[in-house]
Amino acid sequence: MIKPRRLRRGDQVAAVSLSWGGPGAIPHRYATGKQQFETEFGVRIVEMPHALREPEWLRQHPEARAQDLMDAFRDPAIAGIISTVGGDDSLRLLRHLDLEVIRTHPKVFLGYSDTTVSHLACFKAGLGSFYGPSFMAGFAENGGMFPYLIEGVRRTCFSAECIGRLGPAAEEWTVEWLDWGNPDNQRRRRQMHPATPWRFLQGEQAAEGALFGGCLEVLEWLRGTAVWPDASTLRGAILFLETSEEAPPPSAVARALRTFAAMGILQSLAGLLFGRPGGATLPVEQFEDYDRAVLQVVATEEGLRDLPVVTRMDFGHTDPMCVLPYGVRARIDPINQTIDLLESAVVD
């Protein structure tokens, strides 16, 4: 995988709206994320021409959203690209993307959820990108960004040193939904849950592999498209998956894993990582049901009892979130219950 140049203080970073037009619908929420990111990391955010357009216009013009992304990659003055927010129709961008542009103009690309579509385009082009926060979800956190998120972005996107140990958030976590449309909520901290360790469900030996994955529902949509990787590319990979705020049930997770098994992907993996289930109304007590669904397919149905499986991790649709760089080699040690990223994700 091609590694982009690291971000530096003073860099110019582009904001792109690739799916829902969140900045146009709720401008104060986007402005908060922009301001908090600029202040913390010392960069300057510039909006691509259509990033602030109203949601309905953006819905009708996927080609314009794709053009913003391509132009951001092409522009030599832009050092990085960050998604403003997710949505549900980035899939419509695929026919308008030029993978050669991505390949020949590598730069940091960051986002999550529906941005999984563009991550797979980068992966297909050979560029390592970054599964992590967006401007409106993560960087616009009520009352200020979480330290865990800040540290993760610095270590992966701003430093060319080996990333090293990836651990759970020492601080609390949250999935509470506060209406973004109410500006008063921006100053109100969300209700938090006590910090919890990640769950190492199985595995007797350490395993290494390159990271690949994204939002489970979006990956389901992408199978069979031009950006879906060849099976050989995923052989020996560590697959990371997380579920969205729509809280698909454990049965949906099991069905998706069965599909990966039917495709021959599950059996060839070096490890499997799951984010904490998303969904503001999902009781924490039901997280155990998701763990059981994973083991039902991996261990019981497929007999992959040696495959390291880690769940309830801090990435995806709960906060704070870490950053997972595509293509970077990681090591899962189920005995010592550690996860290490064995290289940098960027270059000087």
The token duo for 45 is: 């955010």
Tokens of residue 104, six digits: 């020949």
**Of 267, 243, 275, 269, the residue nearest 330 (C-alpha):** 269
Q: Which residue has the tokens 């697959």?
A: 239
275 and 313 Cβ atoms separated by less than 8 Å:
yes
φ, ψ for residue 338, nearest 5 deg: -130, 155
pLDDT at 146: 97
- Tokens linked to 209: 């592999």
In this prediction, residue 171 carries a pLDDT of 83
Query: In CATH, which superfamily holds the domain spanning 183-341?
Result: LD-carboxypeptidase A C-terminal domain-like (3.50.30.60)
Distance of alpha carbon 129 from alpha carbon 120, whole angstroms: 9
* Cα(348)–Cα(335) distance, integer angstroms: 34
* In the chain, beta strands by DSSP E: 12-16, 44-47, 80-83, 108-111, 130-131, 164-165, 199-202, 207-215, 238-242, 271-275, 309-313, 324-325, 329-333, 338-341
Partnered with residue 309 across adjacent β-strands are 202, 272
d(CA 328, CA 156): 10
| CATH T-level fold of 12-161 | Rossmann fold (3.40.50)
> Up-side HSE of residue 248: CA atoms within 13 Å toward CB?
16
DSSP 174: B
Using the CB atoms, write b or e for 14-45: b if 16+ within 10 Å: bbbbbbbbbbbbbeebbebbbebbeeebebeb
What is the pTM for the complete model shown?
0.97
pLDDT for residue 319:
97
Q: Residue 102 carries which side chain, given as an amino acid letter?
A: I
DSSP 30-48: HHHHHHHHHHHH--EEEE-
Chain segment 119-176, per-residue pLDDT in tens: 999 999 999 999 999 999 999 999 999 999 999 999 999 999 999 999 999 889 999 9
pLDDT < 50 stretches in the chain: none
- Cα 26 from Cα 41, distance rounded (Å): 23
pLDDT value at residue 197: 95
Determine the Cα–Cα distance for residues 98 and 120; give it in Å rounded to an integer: 13
SS3 call for 287: helix
Buried b vs exposed e over 72-102: b needs ≥16 C-beta within 10 Å?
bbebeebbbbbbbbbbebbbbbbeebebeeb
Q: Which residue(s) pair with 134 in the sheet? A: 138
For the stretch 264-273, pLDDT in tens is 999 999 999 9
pLDDT of residue 170: 87
Q: What is the pLDDT of residue 114?
A: 98
Domain map of the chain by residue range?
Answer: 12-161, 183-341
Looking at the chain, the number of H-run helices and the number of E-run strands are 11, 14
